[in-house]
Amino acid sequence: MSDRRTISVTINGETFEREVETRLTLSDFIRHECLLTGTHVGCEHGVCGACTILLNGQTARSCLMLAVQADGQEIRTVEGIAPNDQELHPLQQAFQDNHGLQCGYCTPGMLTTLLEFLEENPDPTEREVREAISGNLCRCTGYQGIVAAALDAAKRLQAGA
Amino acid sequence: MGAKMFGARVPRLEDPRLLTGRGSYTDDFHLPGMLEAAFVRSPHSHAKINGIDTSAALAHDGVVAVYTSADLPEYLRDKTVPFQVPNPAISQPFQQRLLEGREVCFAGEPIALVVADTRYNAEDAATLVEIDYDILPGAADCKSALEDGAPMCHSTSSNNEGAKYIVGYGDVEKAFAEAHLKHREEYWIHRGGGFAIENRAVVAEYDEIDDMLTIWSATQSPFLVKQNVVDMLGWESDKVRVIAPDVGGGFGPKTVYYVEEALIPVIAKDLGRPVKWIEDRRENFLATNMERDQYWEMEIAVDADGKLLGVRGKMIHDTGAYMPWGIISPYISATTLPGPYVLPTYELETRVALTNKVAVTPVRGAGRPQAVFAMERLMDRAADKLGLDRAEIRRRNLIPTEEMPYALGLIFRDGKPMTYDSGDYPKCQAEALRIADYDGFRARQETARAEGRHIGIGVANYVEGTGLGPFEGATVRIQPSGRICIYTGGGDSGQGHWTTLAQVCADKFGVGVEDIDVQKGDTGKIASGVGTFASRIAVNAGSSVHLASNEVREKAIKVAAHMLEAAEEDMDIEDGRVFVKGSDLSVPLSDVARAVQGMPGFSLPGGVEPGLEATHYFSPSQSSYCNGTAVVEVEVDPDTGYVDILNYSMAHDSGTLINPFVVDGQVQGAVAQGVGNALLEWMIYDDNANPVSATFAEYLLPSAPETPNVDVTHVESPTPINPLGVKGAGEGGTIPAAAAIIAAIEDALSPWDVQISGAPLTPSMIVQKVHSGR
Amino acid sequence: MKPPPFTYHDPRSVDDAVALLSEKDNAKLLAGGQSLMPMLNMRFVLPDDVIDINRIEDLSYIRDDGDALVFGGMVRQRDIEFSGLVSQKIPLMKEAILNVGHRQTRTRGTYGGSMSHLDPSAELPTVSMAQDAIVSVRKKGGERDIAMADFPMGYMTPSFDLDEMVTEIRVPIWPEGHGYAFVEFARRHGDYAITSSAVLLDVADGGKITKASITVGGVGPSPLRVTAAEEGLAGETGSADLFTEIAEKCREIDAMEDVYAPAWYRQHLAAVLTRRALAKAYSRAVNGTEMNLR
Ligand code: FES
Ligand code: FES
């Protein structure tokens, strides 16, 4: 008989209460139980970073957590970045303006990672940006557009602050 | 009239959805009643199967069905994946069965399929399927696989040679007899994969009421999937619809048709419920096709001025255990070798070896990086031996611009004589050298050496046949709302077709790209299609959009002329309105579209056919040849073997640019893949061909700190082959990368006189070379 | 790649956790999960019970005990990264921690987890070895301290029993102004290093080395102190020649070999990195400027 628990997780301000198998990964919970499919899964062994979410404000790999571990915690995913349905967050806008994405598969992880990083380091160098996203693999862009977007976003965020 | 869209750096229309998590990739589909599948795959590279027991698996929680080959409908048990692109040179065209029940020939080959309520339960049950194997020796390395006494890849064969052919032209013997200088060397390029961050994925749903099967697949080629499903399963073409939704990267391996894409629909129909299979990363390492492993034994002949007289040699290509795409990759290798140079004579014998590994089919670059590596290394050697500068020897041999179009004397993969349609190779190389400040390099190198730093520079050229036929069509339709919709067959895995195809169309109607929708990758939306691979969409679909838009434009003018009672030649279109020049008489395209919808009892204005739309299937007469030059500057730490790419410059000629923004992105991404091939990516197998490096912690993709910025400059030589003048741009960045990077490393290490003849090059290999040179 | 079935426990205290450990035969402790979760997802480990210790609150402290900093077993790598105490008192650890994985993995990864996993090239065990840390482990009804020198038993095998768990790591502090350097070589930023070198130097006025600690990671089956090299430094004044000569001792270490890095290369890297680390540590100790020793 499978080991199950009822958990309650707040994602982007909305509370999801579900009964889940204790072995369910957090990434699968977010994607397949809460149907927030913006968070992607690319390796399920903690290397690609596509599954990066913000757990209580800090980035973490959701494929390396069990859903039960998030019980009572706050999560933010890519769906929770834009201020509303019409507008993009300055970081998202910078991605579009600098061709920071192609297939879009690594993008949610890049955005969550950079969101946290730019808060911590609002005026980063290119090297710092590259190291900040070193745990996020992108096979499409060669990172150039992503790095440009991050640097551009830093400027926009500072101007807006 | 609005700003011109064609050729502008337009931000992509695709982005807002993808940036806010609203994309829909195959794993994002959750259909009512959907089941999930997990495969049981061979853990051995080569083994006979004596028996399979599925009873424990069937009894596991949540399991709905377990299939082995014996459980498939009779007619499918021995069916193999349709053989794409046959060629008389192929002697042993082995193809994979849907599920293997007798002899598995690579680790990862599917043997059984478990279907359960969740993937978790399906994976549990998969571990309970008991299989009795007799392990057989595996053919691992393609060179030794062709030697006497090698283990057989397939136990029914008497040798491992899958194909053999010779390409070439001119009197090679004579050229070598008369040469001033000859050099012979063996090169090796290792296997690497596409490794899109999204793995493969298939969802299939059978609708009994309509007797209709819908397949969502993370494929580059929905029409090829459909065609293969129809051929293989014997289903009616109009009862199958294949959709490539958002696809998270392709890079070649998602072009091919895989057994999983046949099995999941069969099972969805059999069980009467939707079935989802999401490849996980481990399966991706085992069972998604790869490329590149080749050995080249080559010889070059030049005269005293460094002019090429001939190149000859032998190449061995690893095709893995099966040949779904025949000899496409090695054939492209063979025809790519002459590159941008006047090469008077050439001969290459290719032998294709079967090994107990996953099949080899094109990966970004498709056989070209290997050929360019061999040719460019030969050029470097000839220069070094003659005491010529490495860029100078190239300059002396480039095909002069005035000789375009230039017939090479070879036959391309499309079966047509290879004729370079256009290009300015001398200018391209000069531009690359200029932006790299090649002339200033030796002074930089001297300064660096005085500081104890070892920097080096490398140059590589390539020519690439792009825009492969036969066609990729497009329908352009103006809807009664005034919005324009374009339908095309190839899927999009990040190329930005919505934006670029909209750019081709927008100017014809003076509208912005945001007024245009593009529906792609859905066999239900347009009658025929091929797919997104071989750098072919901009050329084929782009031209089709151009032709169809022109036709719609003419029709709109004709109808509007009738509506406004004016002469067609006095009319023009701007801002989405058809107007009479020099007057304020106009009608919006929405009204025109509505007028040709037809009204019961009235004939259509101007006697036109209904609908403000047109469909074209542009078919190019031959490939269009894109080209480029990469110049790379590196710093090498001879103590640790670390390579830091300091500058990466690339001059790139893909003809007319529809969106330079998008093309730059393609080049940058392709370069990163080349960096991986040169320095990082190594798929390790043991002596029996069992994969060793099957995780992202072991097979290393370039990450941001190791990937250089690419300084791209465009030379635009429009091709006469299509009405837009465009050539493909998706692969050029990868093709010369390994050749240029390795040359630069060798140059940096010239104080130790090292010679490098293969890729990837790892830090320990560098240190070893430095030490043996010391 | 989904975890196999298991029974999940999330004890709220160390007592409860070790009670479960003693009761269950085939249990795994889940700390930060950055190593265990991939192994679960790949089904490389098949535990009947998973004991999640993330809900135990009193294991997340960093305490200043005067002569040592004391870390609770569940201190996150990120806590170490941003700890003022650590930067001030154990600068070697601060320098090393930035090489541990990536920001997303440091959020979860723990000190105790890293010690228990004991990868031969992991940074925290290497630093712990260099600083002569003491690891406290607890089981039902008992607690003991293990000196770092006795902590590794073999490749990825610490010397505590299956029913014990790491609760605390006590890291002695070197005198203010000591020289330190952590230098590693990895294929990519954030990867496990192929080889690393951690150096601590105490230097008297006038430049004489009074105490040295040299540890190499990724060469042997666990982080190793290079005592032969340490002894050669005592009483000497630092110089490029001395460091080059001393670092050569690393080539004598019995090195591991795998398909990714041959033994000779690990030995060679150990010598190169130790030479660099010595120069860096010494410069920091004497004048804060760095000796250029390529
Ligand atoms: S899916 Fe989590 S890191 Fe790759
Ligand atoms: S945009 Fe495709 S993986 Fe990054």
Sequence-separated (6 or more) residues with CB below 8 Å from residue B324: B81, B83, B84, B95, B96, B256, B257, B289, B359, B361
Average pLDDT score over chain C = 94
B121 and B269, same domain (yes or no): yes
Q: How far is the CA of B771 from the centre of ligand 2 (A)?
A: 39
What confidence score (pLDDT) does residue B728 get? 87
Q: Reply yes or no on whether the pLDDT at B459 is more than 90.
A: yes
Q: Reply yes or no on whether the pLDDT at B188 is more than 50.
A: yes
Q: Reply yes or no on whether the pLDDT at B719 is more than 70.
A: yes
What confidence score (pLDDT) does residue C294 get? 45
Ligand in closest contact with the CA of A45: 1
Residue nearest to atom 4 of ligand 2 (CA): A138
Give the residue numbers in A contacting C (CB under 8 Å), as ranges: 2-3, 5, 21-23, 25, 28, 44-46, 49, 52, 55, 58-61, 63-66, 68-69, 113, 116-117, 130-132, 134-136
Asked if the Cβ–Cβ distance from C102 to A134 is below 8 Å, we say yes
B118 and B82, same domain (yes or no): yes
Q: How far apart are CA B101 and CA B71, in angstroms?
A: 11
Q: Reply yes or no on whether the pLDDT at C132 is more than 60.
A: yes
> Using one digit for the tens of pLDDT, what is the confidence trace for C169-214?
999 999 999 999 999 999 998 888 999 999 999 999 889 999 999 9
Q: Give the nearest chain C residue to B706 (CA atoms).
A: C188
Of C8, C34, C52, the CB nearest to A64: C34
Q: Reply yes or no on whether the pLDDT at B636 is more than 80.
A: yes
Q: Give the nearest chain C residue to B278 (CA atoms).
A: C1
Closest CA to B43 of B97, B141, B112: B112
Domain CATH number, residue B77: 3.90.1170.50
Q: How far apart are CA C104 and CA A53, in angstroms?
A: 9
Read off the pLDDT of each residue in C86-111 and give the average, rounded to a whole number: 95
Q: Chain A: nearest CA to B698, how far in angstroms?
A: 10
Read off the pLDDT of each residue in C72-92 and give the average, rounded to a whole number: 97
Q: How far apart are CA B614 and CA C219, in angstroms?
A: 68
Number of helices (H) and strands (E) in chain A: give both, helices first: 5, 5
CA-B198 nearest atom, ligand 2: 3
Ligand in closest contact with the CA of B18: 2
Chains with 3 or more CB pairs under 8 A to chain B: A, C
What is the SS3 assignment for C86?
helix
B260 and B114, same domain (yes or no): yes
- In chain B, what percentage of residues exceed pLDDT 90? 83
Pocket test for ligand 2, best of A43, A107, A143 (most atoms within 8 A of CB): A107
What confidence score (pLDDT) does residue C200 get? 98
Q: Quick check: A58 and A117 in contact, CB under 8 A?
A: no
B593 and B611, same domain (yes or no): yes
B457 and B496, same domain (yes or no): no
Q: Specify if B147 maps to a domain.
A: no
What is the SS3 assignment for C232?
helix
Sequence-separated (6 or more) residues with CB below 8 Å from residue C71: C61, C62, C63, C80, C111, C168, C169, C170, C171
Q: Chain B: nearest CA to A107, how far in angstroms?
A: 7
How many pairs of residues across B and C have Cβ atoms under 8 Å apart? 55
B270 and B389, same domain (yes or no): no
Beta-carbon count within 10 A of B387 CB: 7
Of B19, B28, B673, the CB nearest to A101: B19
What confidence score (pLDDT) does residue C129 get? 98
Asked if the Cβ–Cβ distance from A113 to C34 is below 8 Å, we say no
DSSP string across C117-131: H--TT-HHHHHHHHT
What confidence score (pLDDT) does residue B391 get? 97
Consecutive H or E run containing B40: strand B35-41
- For B487-642, where are the alpha helices, taking DSSP H only? 497-509, 537-564, 589-595
Asked if the Cβ–Cβ distance from C4 to A22 is below 8 Å, we say no
CA angle B191, B196, B202 (to 5 degrees): 115
Domain regions of chain C by residue span: 7-46, 61-172, 179-287
What confidence score (pLDDT) does residue B663 get? 92
Confidence of residue B177 (pLDDT cuts 50, 70, 90): very high
B611 and B488, same domain (yes or no): yes
Q: Chain A: nearest CA to C240, how far in angstroms?
A: 30
Report chain B residues whose CB lies below 8 A from the CB of A127: 705
What confidence score (pLDDT) does residue B467 get? 81
Q: How far is the CA of C107 from the centre of ligand 2 (A)?
A: 24
Read off the pLDDT of each residue in B200-212 and give the average, rounded to a whole number: 94
Asked if the Cβ–Cβ distance from C41 to A45 is below 8 Å, we say yes
Q: How far is the CA of C6 from the centre of ligand 1 (A)?
A: 22
B718 and B738, same domain (yes or no): yes
Report chain A residues whose CB lies below 8 A from the CB of C5: 2-3, 21, 23
Q: Reply yes or no on whether the pLDDT at B470 is more than 90.
A: no
CA-A49 nearest atom, ligand 1: 3
Confidence of residue B84 (pLDDT cuts 50, 70, 90): confident
Which of B52-66, B267-281, B716-730 bottoms out in mean pLDDT, i.e. has the lowest? B716-730
Read off the pLDDT of each residue in B19-31 and give the average, rounded to a whole number: 96
Q: How far is the CA of A141 from the centre of ligand 2 (A)?
A: 6
In this prediction the ipTM stands at 0.97
Name every protein residue with a CB atom under 6 angstroms from any ligand 1 atom: A 41-44, 46-51, 61, 63
Pocket test for ligand 1, best of A26, A29, A44 (most atoms within 8 A of CB): A44
Handedness of CA A124, A130, A136, A139 (dihedral sign): positive
Q: How far is the CA of C9 from the centre of ligand 1 (A)?
A: 24
Q: Reply yes or no on whether the pLDDT at C241 is more than 70.
A: yes
What confidence score (pLDDT) does residue B161 get? 97
Asked if the Cβ–Cβ distance from B705 to A130 is below 8 Å, we say yes
Asked if the Cβ–Cβ distance from B12 to A31 is below 8 Å, we say no
Of C10, C40, C78, the CB nearest to A58: C78
Q: How far is the CA of A51 from the centre of ligand 1 (A)?
A: 5
Average pLDDT score over chain B = 93
Low-confidence ranges of chain A (pLDDT < 70): 1, 161
Domain carrying residue B474: 15-21+469-618
Residue found under tokens 């279907």: B115
CATH code linked to domain A90-158: 1.10.150.120
Sequence-separated (6 or more) residues with CB below 8 Å from residue B388: B306, B382
Closest CA to B200 of B263, B275, B253: B253
Residue nearest to atom 3 of ligand 1 (CA): A46
What confidence score (pLDDT) does residue C235 get? 92
Q: Chain C: nearest CA to A116, how far in angstroms?
A: 10
Q: A63 CB near a chain B CB, below 8 Å?
A: no
Consecutive H or E run containing B276: strand B275-278
Q: Reply yes or no on whether the pLDDT at B471 is more than 90.
A: no
Ligand 2 pocket, residue A141 CB under 6 Å: yes
Asked if the Cβ–Cβ distance from C3 to B698 is below 8 Å, we say no
What confidence score (pLDDT) does residue B533 get? 67
Report chain B residues whose CB lies below 8 A from the CB of C261: 764
Q: Between these two residues, C115 and B492, which has the higher pLDDT value?
A: C115
Q: Give the nearest chain C residue to A41 (CA atoms).
A: C1
Asked, colleague to colleague, whether A4-80 and A90-158 share their fold, the answer is no
Domain regions of chain A by residue span: 4-80, 90-158
Assign domain C61-172 to its CATH architecture: 2-Layer Sandwich (3.30)
Read off the pLDDT of each residue in B255-284 and give the average, rounded to a whole number: 96
Confidence of residue B241 (pLDDT cuts 50, 70, 90): very high
Q: Reply yes or no on whether the pLDDT at B1 is more than 80.
A: no
In CATH, A4-80 is 3.10.20.30: yes
Q: Specify if B58 maps to a domain.
A: yes
CA-B196 nearest atom, ligand 2: 3
Q: Reply yes or no on whether the pLDDT at B113 is more than 80.
A: yes
Phi, then psi, of B500 in degrees rounded to 5: -70, -40
Report chain B residues whose CB lies below 8 A from the CB of C188: 680, 700, 702-703, 705-706
CATH code linked to domain C179-287: 3.30.390.50
Q: How many domains does chain B have?
A: 3
CA-A101 nearest atom, ligand 2: 1
Q: B603 CB near a chain A CB, below 8 Å?
A: no
What confidence score (pLDDT) does residue B529 get? 76
Pocket test for ligand 2, best of B12, B17, B18, B197 (most atoms within 8 A of CB): B197
Q: How far is the CA of C102 from the centre of ligand 2 (A)?
A: 19
Phi, then psi, of B371 in degrees rounded to 5: -65, -40
Read off the pLDDT of each residue in B295-301 and give the average, rounded to a whole number: 98
Of B282, B692, B764, the CB nearest to C261: B764
Domain CATH number, residue B530: 3.30.365.10
Q: Specify if B424 maps to a domain.
A: yes
> Using one digit for the tens of pLDDT, what is the confidence trace for B388-418?
999 999 999 999 999 999 999 887 766 778 9
Q: How far apart are CA B58 and CA B112, in angstroms?
A: 12
B41, B639, B644, B684, best to mutate vs chain C, most C CBs in 10 Å: B639
What confidence score (pLDDT) does residue C126 get? 98
Side chain identity at B237, as an amino acid letter?
A: S
Sequence-separated (6 or more) residues with CB below 8 Å from residue B404: B420, B421, B422, B423, B717
